[in-house]
Structure formats: C-alpha cells, structure tokens
C-alpha cells in the first residue's frame, strides 16, 4: 500500500492519493529519549482523521486506524477510508515477537465511483521464507529475508522504534511484488495547537533523495506520540493533508 506514490490531477486519482497518505503513516510517532529502556509493548488504539486534497479541486474524506489484540501476541491492524468517491479497506494480521513486527496476512482493497477496483493480497510463509500474493489480478512470489515488512506493518514497527528512542529508521517493505527501502527521520521539535491547546510536538519526515516531493509529520508526545498531522506537498504544489479528529488509546 501504497507508500506515498501520490498522483496527478484527476478526481479519479485523488482518492488513491488520500489512501496513500493514510497508508503512509497512520500512527507514526516521534520520540523523546535515547535512554536504554525496555522495548514498549503494543497497545490497542482507535484513531480518526480528516483527510483533504487540494489539486484544482478540494476533496474531503475521513479515515480510521484501529489496532486490536487477538491474543497470543497476534494483532489485527486496520485502515478504513470513507469519501464521496471511494472507500479503502486495508488490514494486516501480525505477530509481535521480541519487539518486532512479523507480518502474516495483508489485504488491501480500494473501490468506488469512477475508479477501477484495486486489490492486493500478501501471505507470509516464514518457515519457507517466501511471500505469495496478488496485485491487480497478477500473482507474485518473493523470497523473504528477516525483517521484511508489509505496507501496514512498517507503520507499527516505526511507532515502536520511535517510542524506544530511535531518530532515524529504515525498513524493507514488500509492496506490489517488490521490496523497497523506506527511510524516516525525526527532524526537530515544533510547536502546534491540538484541540485548542498549545503543545510541543515532534516533527518528522520521509527521507527521499532526488525528489521534490515532501512528506512531513507531527506527533503528540502527550498522547503516546500519535500522529496529529500529516502534510504531503507534490512537486507541482498540490497538497494532501491528514488532521487528527479523535483518539482512543485502549488498554
């Protein structure tokens, strides 16, 4: 899913853009200290965002990210996006082992008005070190190495890594039949307003080389570093944005 391959100007692709934003970083977190501490456990949550796009026209929608425990260190992570033009449903079943995400089953579906349905599935066989899947109806098989993640699993891992004091992270992400490296870095503290209150937030970015596209993120240390804002600016000046609406940190 789409790790921020955001698009050119048509209403048809606008929704895919919002979907990409959500998959990019729904619960990314900034972090405070490098002190040696135990790796934090996963915690259940439900977070809602407003999503908007400005590219000649304005397009608004809503998004929800949900992480729930299934027992025995197995978790379900889901993304739901609703808008006038299209809906997105994305999910991952993962295992949490020794502070690491181990993806097991990934599913993605985008459907709606004036767009062609888009699906992707990935199943991870860690005993055979092979992932099999299908994208746009075409099957693929990829050899796995330790630590490879999926388009949702890297978000969970990034969250945990930043909570544990990391500032520069790089992940191998399997998406659409190929594995690519994605790097993120905490830039600096910033000051923003959340729910009408002034607070200090952490600012981070996706690190890109030879690209004018910018992806910036702001995280709230007062709420376990939940993502409160995401802004992506395309080379042509188009903007795509997520803003926090509500948060429930369970457990």
Domain ranges of the chain: 11-249
Rounded to whole angstroms, how far apart are CA atoms 23 and 3? 6
Least-confidence region, from 22-31, 33-42, 44-53, 113-122: 22-31
Q: 2: pLDDT confidence band, cut at 50, 70 and 90?
A: very low
Is 156:170 a contact under the CB 8 Å cutoff?
A: no
Instruction: Give pLDDT, residue 39.
Output: 56
Tell me what the pLDDT averaged over the chain comes to. 79
Q: What is the pLDDT of residues 167-191, one digit of tens each?
A: 899 999 999 999 999 999 988 755 5
- Is residue 95 scored above 70 in pLDDT? yes
Mean pLDDT of 49-74: 83
Instruction: Give DSSP secondary structure letters for 78-144.
Output: EEEEEESSEEEEEEEEEEEETTEEEEEEEEEEEEETTEEEEEEEEEEETTTTEEEEEETTEEEEEE-
Q: What is the DSSP code (8-state) at residue 169?
A: E
């Amino acid at each position: 899913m789409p790790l921020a391959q955001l698009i050119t100007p048509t209403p048809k692709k606008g929704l895919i853009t919002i979907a990409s934003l959500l998959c990019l970083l729904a619960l990314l977190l900034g972090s405070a200290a490098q002190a040696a501490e135990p790796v934090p456990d996963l915690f259940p949550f439900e977070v809602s965002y407003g999503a908007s796009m400005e590219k000649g026209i304005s397009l608004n929608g809503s998004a929800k990210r949900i992480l729930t425990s299934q027992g025995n260190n197995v978790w379900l992570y889901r993304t739901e996006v609703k808008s006038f033009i299209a809906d997105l449903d994305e999910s991952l079943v993962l295992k949490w082992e020794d502070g690491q995400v181990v993806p097991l089953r990934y599913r993605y579906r985008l459907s709606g008005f004036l767009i062609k349905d888009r699906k992707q599935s990935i199943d991870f066989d860690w005993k055979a070190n092979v992932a099999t899947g299908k994208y746009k109806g075409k099957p693929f098989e990829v050899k796995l190495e330790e630590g490879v993640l999926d388009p949702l699993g890297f978000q969970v891992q990034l969250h945990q890594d930043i909570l544990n004091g990391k500032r520069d992270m790089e992940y191998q992400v399997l998406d659409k039949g190929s594995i690519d490296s994605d790097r993120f870095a905490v830039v600096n503290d910033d000051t923003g307003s959340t729910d009408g209150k002034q607070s200090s937030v952490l600012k981070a970015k996706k690190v890109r080389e030879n690209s004018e596209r910018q992806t910036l993120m702001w995280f709230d240390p007062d709420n376990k570093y939940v993502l409160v804002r995401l802004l992506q600016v395309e080379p042509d000046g188009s903007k795509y944005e997520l803003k926090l609406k509500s948060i429930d940190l369970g457990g």
